[in-house]
Amino acid sequence: MSAASREAGVNGIPSDGLPVSGRIHHVATVVRDLDIAVKFHAEVLGLPLEQIADVPSQEVRIAFLTAGDSKIELVAPTNSTSGVARFLETKGEGFHHLCLEVADIDAELQRLAATGIQLINAVAVEGVEGPVAFLHPKSCHGILVELIEAPGGPAWKRLGYGDPAQLRIR
């Protein structure tokens, strides 16, 4: 990304204490039973539960727990044929993806595509916590990388999100 476009992305975000671009938004793990895993993370590890959501398009149920300035996402398949179900079957429970926050996700995807990074999503799609896109592990040293746009960025408007402050009670 040129200095000019990076500035444009950062300038798109209000400066009232919003997260810095590039922080780890969340780390996601695949679990067999969401309720059991939530109970462990909340009661044993002591992480506050933020939300549980169904994601029919991905055939999963997910939970977000707060871990300091970042989060942990737990992902459980809702059937035996989804991509996550196959992951669980072949690899078992464990690390699934790393999510980094960016100021302008579509600009970032364009920049990455121009450098030859293999994108799973060429443009941002609607995620539970904001606009998201995945980068292929083959281009990321074996790690499935998710990008998420910081609240109030340009893709929030394009995808029809409401006020970011309302997101947690959707």
| 107 near Zn ion (CB under 5 A) | no
Nearer to Zn ion, 13 or 62 (CB): 62
CA dist 116 → 15, 119, 154 (Å): 32, 9, 24
| 145 near Zn ion (CB under 5 A) | no
Interatomic CA distance for residues 127 and 64, integer angstroms: 12
Binding residue for Zn ion, selected from 30, 37, 41, 73, defined by CB under 5 A: 73
Query: Do 144 and 95 touch, CB atoms closer than 8 A?
Result: no
| 63 near Zn ion (CB under 5 A) | no
End-to-end CA distance of the chain: 34
| 99 near Zn ion (CB under 5 A) | yes
Interatomic CA distance for residues 134 and 121, integer angstroms: 6
Nearer to Zn ion, 73 or 104 (CB): 73
Nearer to Zn ion, 11 or 66 (CB): 66
The tokens for 5 are 């476009």
Binding residue for Zn ion, selected from 146, 150, 152, 156, defined by CB under 5 A: 146
| Residue entry with tokens 């072949």 | 90
Three-state DSSP string of 4-15: HHHHHHHHCCCC
| 28 near Zn ion (CB under 5 A) | yes
CA dist 82 → 55, 63, 68, 110, 120 (Å): 12, 18, 31, 28, 16
| 30 near Zn ion (CB under 5 A) | no
- The residue range among 7-15, 27-35, 44-52, 117-125 that interacts with Zn ion, by the rule CB under 5 A, is 27-35
Nearer to Zn ion, 104 or 146 (CB): 146
Nearer to Zn ion, 63 or 112 (CB): 63
- The residue range among 5-13, 26-34, 112-120, 157-165 that interacts with Zn ion, by the rule CB under 5 A, is 26-34
Binding site for Zn ion (CB under 5 A): 28, 73, 99, 146
